[in-house]
Amino acid sequence: MAALVPNPLYLALGEALRTAEPLVGEIEKAVEGPYLHFHNGTVWTGPAARRFDQEFAQNRSRVRGSAERILSELRQALARTPPEVTEEEARSIRDRYDLP
């Protein structure tokens, strides 16, 4: 049986997830703060404010949904990727994805 080595794709996916998670947190915080501040009712009121609020809420939902889908896709890809492969498979993966 061939010896197993770390799967370079598994390592790259793990690194991508570790990089993306805090960035997603920063994005959500950057959107959530102004959203909550706007909703305290002292920033802006009136018909234009209500229209803005509707658009802001929709965009906030899109940002949060997209961010969660990105993380979910990375987690799923990581879960279905074996952590170890043969040296030949590792070489093929490195070549295919241009990994170190």
The mean per-residue pLDDT over the stretch 79-98 comes to 97
The mean per-residue pLDDT over the stretch 49-66 comes to 93
In percent, how much of the chain has pLDDT > 70? Answer: 100
Q: How far apart are CA 91 and CA 95, in angstroms?
A: 6
pLDDT value at 18 more than 80: yes
According to the model, what pLDDT value does residue 76 have?
Answer: 98
Burial 71-85 (b: 16+ CB within 10 A, else e): eeebeeebeebeeeb
The mean per-residue pLDDT over the stretch 54-78 comes to 96
